[in-house]
């Protein structure tokens, strides 16, 4: 059904209005999910991964869901568990109602265990107990993948992403690295797991940020279609400019257990090579960018892949979200 998918990739300069709750792409009436994600490192070389979802299961709620999300310490090795940094985040499902406060100069979402802010200084993500604090500066454009109505897809769907360079602290230790805030939009009243990108199109999602030895930042994000689906939207940040692409091709390498361990990526005339050496969940692997077409020396990098194999299907997504049907009035 989806062998050929019509889509476009759009970039925009970020403004504070993009983070207001009522902002929408022109043809998508509903907000279907927001995610905060970060991979950061300390001076000793320890890596940490954090994810929180908003509105993607239940509108007006943030969540941490184990084992996919949370706040974890990444350990080298694909068979090594990524332990939770904080035991209270290790429960199966933790949902919290959030409150919105918007002013001319800021947008704040708060919940019992923390808050998220956007203002003229960028992105701020706080743990209420002061254990986790990240501050992000957007270094790319905001990029949206738009899948319009077509055979098998009844309504406009958008996925939105940006790259941020992050600084902050974890348990009092200074960290820096990569973070993003991404959004999904679609029909009013739906959530992300009901949208065709994750249900039918996604084979792989990848995002990364790198820093060359001369201090220049680069990175990007892209999708790959599942099975025979031709779906390769993405973008790259290079030399301070964001360029969008519709023909991203990634050639993966898997280990014997089916974990993604390497990628060779082509994006326009540029190529990138990634190695994945840590596992954060059954779906997520992490590691460094090892080479670019420029040949420049890479000082630091943070690559993040989501590859589910047979773990992301419409049937399994429906099972996972059935528990929330009553609160959604279904």
Q: Report the C-alpha gap between 191 and 200 in whole angstroms.
A: 15
Percent of the chain past pLDDT 90, that is, above it, reads 86
Nearest one of 215, 267, 275, 273 to 239, comparing CA atoms: 215
Cis check for the bond before 67: say yes or no (omega within 30 of 0). yes
pLDDT digits (tens, 9 = 90+) for 172-228: 999 999 999 999 999 999 999 999 999 999 999 999 999 999 999 999 999 999 988
**Per-residue pLDDT at 3 exceeds 80:** no
Kindly tell me the burial class for residue 278, based on how many C-beta atoms sit within 10 Å of its own C-beta (0-12, 13-18, 19 or more): buried
- Mean per-residue pLDDT, 99-126: 97
Asked if pLDDT for residue 66 goes beyond 80, the answer is no
Please list the helix, strand and coil fractions of the chain in percent, rounded to the nearest 5, in that order: 10, 55, 35
* CB-based contacts of 312, cutoff 8 Å, min separation 6: 198, 202, 283
Whether 244 shows a pLDDT value over 80: the answer reads yes
Q: Residue 84's beta-bridge partner residues?
A: 72
CA–CA gap between residue 142 and residue 88 (Å, rounded): 33
pTM, full prediction: 0.96
Question: Where does residue 64 fall: left (phi above 0), alpha (psi -120 to 50 degrees), or beta otherwise?
Answer: beta
Give the residue among 27, 121, 67, 46 at the shortest CA–CA distance from 302: 46
Locate 69 and state its tokens: 């999300």
Instruction: Report angle CA 185, 234, 239 to the nearest 5 degrees.
Output: 120
C-alpha angle with apex 69: 18 to 94, nearest 5 degrees? 95
Q: What per-residue confidence (pLDDT) applies to 320?
A: 87
Taking 80 as the threshold, does the pLDDT of residue 15 lie above it? yes
pLDDT of 284 = 94
CA-nearest of 327, 251, 9 to 143 is 9
| Alpha-carbon 93 to chain mean position | 19
Mean pLDDT across the stretch 70-84? 92
| pLDDT, tens digit (0-9, with 9 covering 90-100), for 257-303 | 889 999 999 999 999 999 999 999 989 999 999 999 999 999 999 99
* Cβ(225)–Cβ(232) below 8 Å: yes
pLDDT at residue 142 is higher than 80: yes
Averaged pLDDT score across all residues of the chain? 94
What is the structure's pLDDT at 295? 93
Cis? peptide before 216, omega within 30° of 0: no
Q: 201 — phi, psi (to 5°)?
A: -100, -40
What is d(CA 1, CA 110) in angstroms, rounded to the nearest whole number?
Answer: 42
The pLDDT of residue 2 is 62
Q: Report the DSSP beta bridge partners of residue 157.
A: 147
pLDDT of residue 1: 55
70 Rama sector, left if φ>0, alpha if ψ -120 to 50, beta otherwise:
left
Contact 120, 107 (CB under 8 A): no
Of residues 93 and 197, more confidence is placed in 197
- CA-nearest of 217, 244, 218, 248 to 231 is 248
């Amino acid at each position: 059904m989806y062998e050929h998918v019509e889509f476009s990739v759009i970039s925009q300069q970020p403004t504070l209005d993009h983070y207001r709750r009522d902002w929408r792409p022109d043809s998508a009436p509903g907000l279907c999910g927001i995610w905060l994600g970060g991979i950061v490192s300390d001076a000793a070389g320890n890596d940490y991964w954090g994810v929180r979802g908003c509105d993607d299961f239940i509108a007006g709620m943030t969540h941490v869901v184990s084992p996919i999300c949370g706040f974890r310490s990444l350990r080298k090795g694909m068979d090594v568990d990524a332990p939770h940094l904080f035991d209270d985040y290790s429960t199966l499902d933790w949902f919290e109602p959030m409150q919105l406060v918007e002013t001319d100069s800021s947008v704040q979402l708060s919940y019992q265990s923390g808050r998220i802010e956007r203002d003229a200084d960028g992105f701020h993500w706080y743990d209420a107990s002061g254990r986790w604090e990240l501050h992000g500066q957007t270094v790319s454009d905001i990029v949206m993948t738009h899948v319009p109505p077509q055979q098998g897809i009844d309504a406009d769907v958008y996925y939105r992403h940006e790259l941020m360079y992050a600084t902050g602290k974890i348990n009092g230790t200074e960290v820096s690295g990569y973070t993003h805030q991404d959004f999904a939009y679609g029909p009013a009243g739906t959530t992300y797991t009901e949208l065709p990108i994750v249900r039918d199109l996604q084979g792989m999602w990848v995002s990364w940020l790198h820093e060359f030895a001369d201090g220049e930042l680069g990175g990007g994000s892209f999708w790959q279609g599942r099975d025979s689906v031709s779906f390769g939207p993405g973008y790259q940040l290079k030399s301070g400019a964001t360029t969008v692409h519709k023909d991203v091709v990634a050639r993966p390498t898997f280990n014997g257990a089916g974990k993604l361990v390497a990628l060779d990526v082509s994006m326009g005339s540029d190529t990138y090579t990634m190695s994945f050496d840590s596992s954060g969940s059954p779906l997520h692997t992490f590691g460094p960018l090892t080479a670019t077409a420029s040949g420049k020396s890479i000082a630091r990098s943070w690559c993040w892949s989501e590859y589910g194999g047979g773990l992301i299907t419409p049937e399994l997504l429906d099972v996972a979200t059935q528990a929330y049907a009553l609160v959604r009035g279904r």
